[in-house]
């Protein structure tokens, strides 16, 4: 569906800008007005990885005035096969800073804003606010649903992309624009779907391997990333018909593009007629393969790794139990944790040991695993055994290593 321009044009272009963007200016659909809109635009790119690399370079080359980069990771040698914004010389550097330097080399007229932090419920609104458009280059379902929901609540459209091996997908989700003060945008987006309309539920963990597990053809990133930028330019300048209500599917092996319709789901939990999701939720649980009973047990009984870190420093009245397997415990661990694998909880053998560790319940029980899925199941068992004040650690040791102790290896 055609949309009005997202951005008002800047007052003028400098002589240098006219020279730089001349090939845009002579396109009737873009022209001076369209280029001025790009100059005035603020676009946030989430991730400076496979999709974020080409997206950032082409957005910068196109003359988008302000580019935000959300990225917390460092450049690794394995990234260079596809993440073309980084170089051999930037291995070990923060990806956000490496990407910013590359953007400056492409176009020094672009203002770059760095958000060197992991996107989560606590910072997503602060980071998103003030941007006209979001380009989503994330690679996990929990963050994708977080991006979708936050963008919807803030009324910001976003361009989504996904890659795996030889297959890619791209779409534009603009459901939040229906609440826009711009009546033309609101009317055009009245039937726009959101990501949840396309994927109401995430797949069970393990069903869809990550790129790290299943691989990705490096050049596929450029194919899908360039489609995302193409859609971004159309949205910002108000030209053409963006992929709102459409899903572009690309098969690189067969060199085949297909465009599928995506309809607004009237029963969507977020943007439907009777929404159930009215605020940000726990996306790790939503995307985790846990039972409804375990999810209920974890509701209100989940602490963050930052809170656990503070507890370790300030308290001695709790017991931290790691429910992973022994081989995982050898890779990395949270200091002070005691290993009792999940299987011991499920067969009941853990209960006697828990009684000894907690002095028969006088100490609070804190559980953790790799990401928070197994510990939620163990939490259900513990609460059923009478440990009513037991809690578990959201994000598990993965979050601990990335946010608290990056000196430890990840797996």
**137 HSE (CA, 13 A, CB side):** 29
Question: Token match 């009237």: residue?
Answer: 266
CA–CA gap between residue 107 and residue 98 (Å, rounded) = 15
Marked catalytic residue, from 194, 211, 271, 378:
211
Q: What is the DSSP letter of 94?
A: B
369 is an active site residue: yes
Query: Residue 74, SS3?
Result: strand
Cα 105 to chain centroid distance, Å, stands at 27
CA triple 140-177-259, angle to 5 deg: 60
271 is an active site residue: no
409: number of Cβ within 10 Å? 8
CA–CA gap between residue 54 and residue 109 (Å, rounded) = 18
Query: Residue 99, SS3?
Result: helix
Nearest to 379 by CA among 407, 354, 409: 354
Print burial letters for 357-388: b (CB count within 10 Å at least 16), e (below 16).
bbeeeebbbbbbbbbbbbbbbbbbbbbebebe
**Distant-in-sequence, close-in-space partners of 179: CB < 8 Å, separation ≥ 6:** 155, 186
CA–CA gap between residue 296 and residue 306 (Å, rounded) = 23
Question: Token match 């300030």: residue?
Answer: 314
Query: Residue 81, SS3?
Result: helix
CA–CA gap between residue 313 and residue 9 (Å, rounded) = 53
- Joined together, the tokens standing for residue 140 give 């996990």
Cα 322 to chain centroid distance, Å, stands at 27
Marked catalytic residue, from 194, 221, 271, 369:
369
Q: Which residues are catalytic?
A: 211, 369
């Amino acid at each position: 569906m055609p949309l009005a321009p997202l951005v008002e044009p800047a007052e003028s272009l400098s002589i240098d800008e006219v020279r730089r963007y001349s090939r845009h200016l002579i396109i009737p659909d873009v022209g001076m007005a369209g280029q001025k809109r790009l100059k005035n635009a603020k676009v946030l790119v989430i991730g400076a990885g496979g999709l974020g690399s080409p997206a950032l370079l082409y957005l910068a080359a196109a003359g988008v005035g302000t580019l935000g980069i959300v990225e917390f990771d460092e450049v690794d040698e394995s990234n260079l096969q596809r993440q073309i914004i980084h170089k051999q010389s930037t291995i070990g550097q923060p990806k956000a800073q490496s990407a910013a330097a590359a953007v400056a080399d492409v176009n020094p007229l672009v203002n770059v804003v760095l958000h060197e932090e992991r996107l989560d419920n606590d910072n997503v609104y602060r980071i998103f606010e003030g941007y006209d458009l979001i380009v989503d280059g994330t690679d996990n379902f929990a963050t994708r649903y977080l991006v979708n929901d936050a963008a919807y609540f803030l009324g910001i459209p976003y361009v989504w992309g996904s890659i795996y091996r030889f297959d890619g997908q791209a779409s534009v989700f603009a459901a939040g624009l229906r609440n826009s003060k711009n009546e033309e945008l609101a009317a055009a987006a009245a039937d726009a779907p959101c990501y949840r309309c396309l994927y109401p539920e995430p797949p069970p963990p393990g069903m869809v391997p990550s790129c790290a597990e299943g691989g990705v053809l490096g050049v596929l990133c450029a194919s899908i990333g360039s489609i995302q930028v193409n859609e971004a330019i159309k949205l910002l300048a108000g030209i053409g018909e963006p992929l709102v209500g459409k899903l572009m599917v690309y098969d690189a092996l067969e060199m085949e593009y297909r465009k599928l319709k995506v309809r607004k789901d009237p029963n969507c939990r977020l943007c439907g007629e009777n929404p159930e999701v009215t605020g940000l939720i726990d996306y790790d649980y939503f995307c985790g393969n846990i039972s409804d009973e375990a999810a209920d047990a974890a509701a209100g009984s989940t602490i963050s790794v930052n809170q656990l870190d503070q507890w370790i420093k300030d308290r001695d009245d709790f017991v931290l139990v790691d429910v992973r397997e022994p081989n995982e415990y050898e890779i990395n661990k949270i200091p002070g944790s005691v290993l009792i694998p999940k299987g011991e909880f499920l067969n009941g053998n853990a209960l006697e040991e828990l009684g000894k560790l907690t002095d028969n319940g006088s100490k609070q029980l804190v559980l953790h695993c790799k990401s928070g899925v197994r510990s939620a199941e163990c939490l259900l068992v513990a609460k059923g055994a009478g440990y009513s004040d037991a809690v578990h650690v959201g994000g598990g040791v993965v979050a601990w290593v990335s946010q608290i102790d990056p000196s430890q290896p990840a797996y």
